Amino acid sequence: MTIDRKDRSILMALQEDAKQSSRDLSKKLDLPATTIHERIRKMEKGGIIKGYHVAIDYEKAEMPSTAIVLIKRTPIIKSGKKIIYRKIADLIAKLPEIQEVHTLSGEFDMMLKIRGRNERDIGNFVSDIIWSLPEVERTQTLLCFHTAKDTCKIELK
């Protein structure tokens, strides 16, 4: 499915406030509400809109600490086949403490974003859970001191 200028304007408006009604979007974007409703439905069905999320103030939610964990994987061979590291990333992504998982090029194979109540909680998670995975050869944990920007919003050109 491809998106056009109208779809992009709808997506940009929904990134600002996903709770807006089709009627409110209609006034903002100067498009009929039925058109907006139908386009949103098509983008949901086509997988362009994957869901709707709440923007959380992590300080107020008592999860103020953020860490980036870089993972170097251990090449593992089972039954003569090398385990694909995207599958390892998919398994790690299922852990509820993990906010993001990305596979990388370069020295490290994977990057995780973790949030916690404090650095100790994050450290315990890394040492107790991540280090216990046989696919993990080594990690580097980077604690974030300050977050200047944390958003799901992106300019759609």
Can you give the CATH number for the domain in which 105 is found? 3.30.70.920
Q: Are residue 70 and residue 19 in the same domain, yes or no? A: no
Residue 80 lies in domain:
65-143
107 and 137 in a single domain? The answer is yes
* pLDDT, tens digit (0-9, with 9 covering 90-100), for 74-123: 876 666 656 677 788 898 999 999 999 999 999 999 999 999 999 999 99
- The closest of 33, 72, 105 to 10, measured between CA atoms, is 33
Establish if 133 belongs to a structural domain. yes
Distances (CA, A) of 108 to 54, 60, 83, 86, 125: 31, 33, 16, 13, 19
Same domain, residue pair 117 and 86: yes
**Interval 27-41: pLDDT, tens:** 999 999 999 999 999
Q: Into how many domains does the chain fold?
A: 2
Report yes or no on 157 lying in a domain: no
Q: Is residue 29 domain-resident?
A: yes
pTM of the model: 0.83
Q: Do 19 and 85 share a structural domain? A: no
Token look-up 């999320």 returns 53
Position 155 in a domain: no
